[in-house]
Amino acid sequence: MLSDKTLRELADEKGVTIGAGIPARSFRQYPDDPTLAQTLKREFNAVTTGNALKMGPLRPEPKVYDFDDADAIVNFGVKNDMTVRGHTLLWHKQTPEWFLAWDYTDDQLEAFVRDHIHTVAGRYHDKVDVWDVVNEAVADDGSMRETMWYEAMGEEYLDKAFEWANDVAPNAALYYNDYEIASDNDKANAVYDLLQRLLDRGVPIDGVGIQMHSLPSYQHSREDPETVGENIRRFKELGLDVQITEMDVAYGPNEEFDDRLEHQAQYYKDVLKACLDNGCSTLITWGVHDAGTWLQNRYDVTTDPLLFDENFNPKPAYYAIRDLLENWS
């Protein structure tokens, strides 16, 4: 018989981390409604900063940082004894509108990135437990992504980013994070090889985050859970921790199921089981409830990808994960 324990209570008992990425707009959208905060702290034991610590939202003007949104999420996590994940220190997207890479020499761009990482990771050195240091450095075909950082510093920009983060946040776990790396494909193989090179060079990297935006469209796909488990084992054999960092499950217009929410529930459960069975103990959903999903008006998919519906009611996926934790040992 399923207990009446919350998802967080079961996760804490089993030594599992179940988290949610929170867009800052969710806090702004419900300033007088405590439901989001109540659900988050009751049901999850980890929180990710969503967009708030990406370079663009964080830096509205040159030499100006706006930490208000990030502080709100980080401090909420600390106050409620949650694992806090900072996302992300370096990415090729969501850079500031005023930032033009060609205004910098290679040396100046390197100094810019070093200062940025030292400032941001240093501010939260005693609050953020895990950093996604570099996000999506590998292109879909397995080549190194041609970014401004890569053009200025070569592949060693990753080495430097991790080293700079480690300088100011030596107690935080440092991760590489990417999408489409849960399957046996060219990109996953390239990321594996990249991580091996980083380790061979002595880079202070602790783990790899596997995004799992499970959508039948654009850059994302719905990986077979058995394959997910195999890939988790492969990354762990490098000596790295593995976490599922951005999971949601949506459906395209050509997908038909007798009960879509039951299919969604089974998929969440199967992926978490693959994670747990292969030494991965963290799963983070990209949002708390359907009304806050990033998929609104994107990719022509359903907008009900999370564990709670738009009114914060638990969905079959919530109960499926809770049932798995209840019976997992």
**E strand or H helix at 272:** helix 260-277
Could you say which DSSP state residue 59 is in?
A: -
Query: End-to-end alpha-carbon separation of the chain, Å?
Result: 16
Active site residue 61: no
Contact status, residue 169 vs residue 122, Cβ threshold 8 Å: yes
Active site residue 246: yes
Which is it for strands 241-249 and 207-214: parallel, antiparallel or unpaired?
parallel
Q: Catalytic residue among 163, 180, 223, 246, which? A: 246
Contact status, residue 284 vs residue 46, Cβ threshold 8 Å: yes
Among residues 312, 218, 251, the alpha carbon closest in space to that of 20 is found at 312
Distance CA 267, CA 274 (A): 10
SS3 239: coil
Distance CA 314, CA 316 (A): 7
Q: Catalytic residue among 43, 136, 180, 223, which? A: 136
Contact status, residue 307 vs residue 318, Cβ threshold 8 Å: yes
Q: How many C-beta atoms lie closer than 10 Å to residue 257's C-beta?
A: 10
Contact status, residue 84 vs residue 74, Cβ threshold 8 Å: yes
Could you tell me what percentage of the chain is helix, strand and coil, using 3-state DSSP and rounding each to the nearest 5? 40, 20, 40
**Tokens read off for 14:** 């089993």
Contacts of residue 73, defined as CB under 8 A and 6 or more positions apart, other chains included, come to: 22, 24, 27, 47, 49, 50, 52, 84
Q: Which residues are catalytic?
A: 136, 246
